[in-house]
Amino acid sequence: MAIKETSSKPVKERVSTPNPIVEDSGEESLRPKKLSEYIGQTMIKKHLQVAMDAAKLRSAPVEHVLFYGPPGLGKTTLAMLVAAETGGNLRHTSGPAIDKPADMLSVLTSLQP
């Protein structure tokens, strides 16, 4: 981002650069950082909190969770929150990305403990 000096106030002007600008990743800054900050899906949040609390008491990871539904419901955000709050890793994929068994095999073999 370049700044052009004018008479009194600087005016921001977009310059094409190969490096991404922090402002371009606005989606991440809009996502909540904790499950308590997530708005909506009250019952799902309660069930996830119970699962996370139980896993913490057992000193074990949260059992497998599968979110499904149309775009825009917050599935990815919920998955990111569960991973963040439990200290786990998230491997994100989508149904259309898995066309044949070998696609699923590549997802499973690239998982971290």
Name the residue with higher pLDDT: 17 or 59. Answer: 59
Kindly report the number of other CB atoms within 10 A of residue 82's CB atom.
Answer: 20
Domain 31-90 matching CATH 3.40.190.10: the answer reads no
- By the 8 A CB rule, do 61 and 55 touch? yes
User: Could you tell me the residue ranges of all domains in the chain?
Assistant: 31-90
Name the residue with higher pLDDT: 15 or 69. Answer: 69
The model's pTM: 0.65
